[in-house]
Amino acid sequence: MAAGERRIQHLMEEVTNPDVGTVVVYGISGLGKTWTARQAYGRAMASRLFDVFLWISLSATCTTRRARQKILESLSIAVEDYGDEERVTEKIHSFLSGRRFLLVLDDAWFTEDRTLATLGVPTPKHNASKVVVTTRTRRALTAMEPDVVIEQSSLSRKESWDLFCQISGHSIMNRSGQMVVEKSHGMPLLIVLMAGALKESITDSANEELTAKVSTALLDEVTAAKFAYSMLPDDEVKRCLVYCLLFPGDMALHDDELIQYWLMDGLIAEGYLGVAATDKAQKILLLLLHGRLLYREDDDHVRMHEAVREVLMNYGRQRDHHGYSCATHPEGLTSIWLPDGRYKRISLMESSTDRVPHIPPSFPSSLFLRGNRWLKVIPNSFFDNMQILTLSVLDLSFTAITNLPSSISNLANLQHLLLKGCEQLEELRNIISLRKLLVLDASGCSALRTISWIIRYDEHAESP
């Protein structure tokens, strides 16, 4: 039996049980709850057991408001105002009520009673539907009012070794591999991180380093994630991984979008344009996937495991990540800054905010406000009081803005302006002075009527 197969079979038994509506898979971080749920979800889809399949990735910072938005978007239901929470709830309930659905809420941290009703999800047993919840908190466990609770267990010794060999590609019972399996205590995340770090080859030096680390310290998530990070081949790859901390923990990134961010933000030495730069970025993405520091959400989307994210974020507070440090801020901002204290990148993506946050005065080269569906207005003076000469990337995609602030004209060095999916955006004004602009993405701006911009080809050609 393949590693983890008994877990999948157990969950599938409950998913197909007509007397069960809600199943909670509970356990500490790193036990493979998400992986088990993903495998069962895939089998249910392949067997067409339900009419509608919904996989909703959550996180410790994901509110019920944000969760409703994610469900709504997964169902491709259009609403005029995401802020009308009662209307959003009604839309979800109406759509699901007449259908047999399988809804997976992965990494739930809900604390409210009657959470499903708050989200607009009908009682699943009423129409032979199922809700599967993965969580590591007892409060969320009770808030979901489950019919069945599956407490995730650790892998057996044999399952652990099989998993190590499957990931690393090595079947020789070397000393370091045996030690990893012994000290992992059946925790899948620890095994895949350590094995992923050794996937390409087990050299003598790697063996010695691994043996030294495992033999002298407790093997936990911190040790495993730091070792996997240290085994990345160079600083460029490490910076690309740290960059992923700018995205919310519950956000899956399309391969092409992540690569685009890396390229336009200058993380790839080969530059922004050209086949060589794209090829290099694709190879880096594969390295991070092979090392299990990122994992596949589906065929073309990737995520960072929440436990790995927490370790790298804490690691970044203690030391710089090869030129960068990272942290979260009270308003939900995530920032990456340089050793001299200057902010390099600031992000507030996919939040529930309806106003622009306070931005630290040392202005970054990149500002990401993507996915703030409740953000309707950016004050005209927003860019007036900042050190704006360095800003080269501004991402306002998937917000509810109707116009750009007049002060955007001050961004003399802006090269990338991303407005993708701004469905309420009516006009593009105040951008005629953005002479260094290389990319303007206004795809999906269905209400756009006017672009007040005349391209001066001679000036544009002089831009770097």
| Per-residue pLDDT reduced to its tens digit, 402-438 | 999 999 998 888 999 999 999 999 988 888 888 899 9
Q: How confident is the model at residue 273 (pLDDT cuts 50, 70, 90)?
A: confident
Task: Report the pLDDT value the prediction gives residue 459, as an integer from 0 to 100.
Answer: 44
Spatial neighbors of 231 by CB under 8 A, at least 6 apart, are: 197, 198, 206, 291
Q: How far apart are CA 102 and CA 123, in angstroms?
A: 12
Higher pLDDT, 55 or 248: 55
Task: Report the pLDDT value the prediction gives residue 56, as an integer from 0 to 100.
Answer: 96
Rounded mean pLDDT, 107-111: 91
Task: Report the pLDDT value the prediction gives residue 463, as an integer from 0 to 100.
Answer: 41
Hey, how many other C-beta atoms are within 10 angstroms of the C-beta on 218? 8
Q: Which of 91-100, 254-263, 273-282 shows the lowest per-residue confidence on average (mean pLDDT)?
A: 273-282
Task: Report the pLDDT value the prediction gives residue 363, as an integer from 0 to 100.
Answer: 60
Task: Using the structure block, give the residue that is written with the tokens 């202005």.
Answer: 363
Closest CA to 324 of 307, 308, 341, 310: 341
Higher pLDDT, 198 or 17: 17
Q: What is the pLDDT of residues 345-395, one digit of tens each?
A: 888 888 877 888 776 656 678 889 999 988 999 998 888 765 556 789 999
Distances in whole angstroms, Cα of residue 341 to Cα of each of 294, 303, 331, 336, 426: 28, 28, 19, 10, 38
Task: Report the pLDDT value the prediction gives residue 338, as an integer from 0 to 100.
Answer: 52
Task: Report the pLDDT value the prediction gives residue 362, as an integer from 0 to 100.
Answer: 61
Rounded mean pLDDT, 175-179: 78
Q: How confident is the model at residue 326 (pLDDT cuts 50, 70, 90)?
A: low
Given a cut of 90, is residue 336 above it in pLDDT?
no
Task: Report the pLDDT value the prediction gives residue 112, as an integer from 0 to 100.
Answer: 86
Q: How confident is the model at residue 48 (pLDDT cuts 50, 70, 90)?
A: very high
Tell me what the pLDDT averaged over the chain comes to.
84
Q: What is the pLDDT of residues 202-217, one digit of tens each?
A: 556 666 666 666 666 6
Task: Report the pLDDT value the prediction gives residue 376, as an integer from 0 to 100.
Answer: 92
Higher pLDDT, 336 or 166: 166
Rounded mean pLDDT, 301-328: 70
Distances in whole angstroms, Cα of residue 369 to Cα of each of 353, 359, 373, 376, 394: 10, 11, 10, 12, 8
Task: Report the pLDDT value the prediction gives residue 78, as an integer from 0 to 100.
Answer: 77
Task: Report the pLDDT value the prediction gives residue 63, as an integer from 0 to 100.
Answer: 86
Q: Which of 88-102, 179-193, 277-291 shows the lowest per-residue confidence on average (mean pLDDT)?
A: 179-193
Task: Report the pLDDT value the prediction gives residue 318, as an integer from 0 to 100.
Answer: 52
Rounded mean pLDDT, 74-81: 81
Given a cut of 80, is residue 90 above it in pLDDT?
yes
Task: Report the pLDDT value the prediction gives residue 330, as an integer from 0 to 100.
Answer: 43
Q: How confident is the model at residue 274 (pLDDT cuts 50, 70, 90)?
A: confident
Rounded mean pLDDT, 133-142: 91
Q: How confident is the model at residue 321 (pLDDT cuts 50, 70, 90)?
A: very low
Percent of the chain topping pLDDT 90: 45
Q: Which of 79-83, 188-192, 335-339, 355-359 shows the lowest per-residue confidence on average (mean pLDDT)?
A: 335-339
CB 322 within 8 A of CB 233: no
Task: Report the pLDDT value the prediction gives residue 280, as an integer from 0 to 100.
Answer: 95
